[in-house]
Amino acid sequence: MCLKLFVVALFFLLPDIASANDGLQALTVKTNADGAQEYSVTLQVLIMMTALSFIPAAVIMMTSFTRIIVVLAILRQAIGLQQTPSSQLLVGMALFMSIFIMAPIYKQIDDRAIQPYLKEELTSIQALDQAKEPLKAFMLSQTRISDLETFAKIAGYEKLDAPEDTPFIVVIPAFITSELQTAFIIGFMFFIPFLIVDLVVASVLMAMGMMMLSPMIVSLPFKIMLFVLVDGWSLVMGTLARSYGLGT
């Protein structure tokens, strides 16, 4: 918190520092011929360092991470294992699956924004605009129209000619909502077989008069055996990848 306050204070003090020292030419904002503003390298570094605190939120909310981690958490609950796999392991699996799924999107961003910017063919603002397009297209492809319309109305955009015209700030919450909806649907489909095993075991124990024995303890080995026999992890990961159009 102290570091953030220091960065904010430094940001507001930069103009005074620059005006007090005429030799410090790095702290400038240049207006291009087309009216766009270009920040100096020092300001770009300052803004980039401040934006680093938002990278975890961007990774979680603008990629496939949310859907994957929710499905894995529901799957662990369905099997009945409270601590295995651990939360750290699930986050790691979700992170690397997200890297795998988002690799084509990163390739487009690299070709359209990062490499031209490094070659000084684009300004930082133009590179940022180019980088948003592949990510926005990916998010729109996974967003339900109803969610998009809901958040567009909330933001005051009553009439949009096409989903591509939706502002980026509206696409993000609509995408997150759609991801949660899809994750719950996939999680429900994975939950059903384990629920059937629990019901069968509970019915058998009740019929045998073993009322004091917890059905969860008896059904757990059968659920693990069922998951292993159907090659469950491969099935889960393949389903998540195919839900984004990979391998279809």
pLDDT tens digits for range 66-103: 899 999 999 888 888 877 888 888 888 888 888 888 88
pLDDT band at 38 (very low <50, low <70, confident <90, very high): low
Q: Where are the domains of the chain?
A: 60-244
Amino acid at 146: S
Which pLDDT value is given to residue 4? 46
Token digits of residue 69 = 């981690």
pLDDT, tens only, 141-183: 888 888 888 888 887 777 777 777 778 888 888 899 999 999 9
Which pLDDT value is given to residue 178? 92
Site of tokens 């790691």: 92
* Cβ neighbourhood burial of 124 (10 Å; 0-12, 13-18, 19+): middle
Which pLDDT value is given to residue 3? 43
Which pLDDT value is given to residue 9? 40
Which pLDDT value is given to residue 247? 63
Q: Of all residues in the chain, what percent carry a pLDDT higher than 70?
A: 77
Query: Where are the alpha helices (H) located in the chain, listed in sequence order?
Result: 2-20, 41-51, 55-61, 65-79, 87-109, 115-118, 124-141, 145-155, 168-207, 215-229, 232-242
Give the residue with greater pLDDT, 191 vs 209.
191
Token digits of residue 25 = 């030419």
Question: For the whole prediction, is pTM greater than 0.85?
Answer: no
- Nearest 10 degrees: Cα torsion 55, 110, 71, 92: -60
Which pLDDT value is given to residue 41? 54
Which pLDDT value is given to residue 120? 77
C-alpha span between 111 and 178 (Å, rounded): 28
Site of tokens 């603008």: 62
| Cis peptide, bond prior to residue 15, ω within 30 of zero | no
Mean pLDDT over residues 19-40, rounded? 53
Distances 125 to 44, 48, 117, 172 between C-alpha atoms, Å: 10, 12, 10, 20
pLDDT band at 205 (very low <50, low <70, confident <90, very high): confident
